[in-house]
Amino acid sequence: MNTKRIAAFAAAAVSLAFASPVLAQSEFPLVPGDYVDMAMITIDDGHNLDYANFLAGEWRKQQEFAKSQGWITGYEILSNVDKRKGEPDIYLVTKFTMMPDAAESAKRDEAFRKYMATTDSQMEKESGSRATYRHVIGSMLLQKLEWKK
């Protein structure tokens, strides 16, 4: 898991800690649900197929592995059909029920590297190659609020 994502998870945990007393009050009709991580991606002209091939290959393989391990509950790719200036072309969405602590993150990273048969330096090089035409312009960590039963 990359450093940005870990920082986002930590920030969400802190905000949830402050919000929990309010959500726990008996008259509040909503309770915290699953998390949704959303990466906002732009793709340079002429590289849509390049990035689509990455998503259909490596990214999907990574997500399916995470899902098989129970680390995530789902994932999807959303296309920004009516894109305005400054908005992403696509959103990569990953859903999960809980954020791992530091020890669990390290354990998952090791399992992921073993499954993908890669090293950190190889992953960095591959990411750098994609960065020539794919740009992460932002991310959001959201938490679903569900009706209290």
The CATH number of the domain holding residue 78 is 3.30.70.100
pLDDT at 19 over 70: no
| Average pLDDT for the chain | 88
**pLDDT tens, 88-128?**
999 999 999 999 999 999 999 999 999 988 888 988 888 88
Residue 59 structure tokens: 């990214």
DSSP state of 57: I
Residue type (1 letter), 138: G
- The reported pLDDT for the residue numbered 21 is 59
Higher-pLDDT residue of 79, 2:
79
Q: What pTM, to 2 d.p., does this model score?
A: 0.79
- Give the count of domains, the chain: 1
Domain with 46 in it: 3-147
Residue 42 has pLDDT above 50, yes or no: yes
Contact 149, 30 (CB under 8 A): no
Q: How confident is the model at residue 14, as a pLDDT?
A: 46
What is the pLDDT at residue 22? 57
69 DSSP 8-state letter: T
C-alpha–C-alpha distance, residues 16 and 4, integer Å = 18
* Mean pLDDT within 30-57: 97
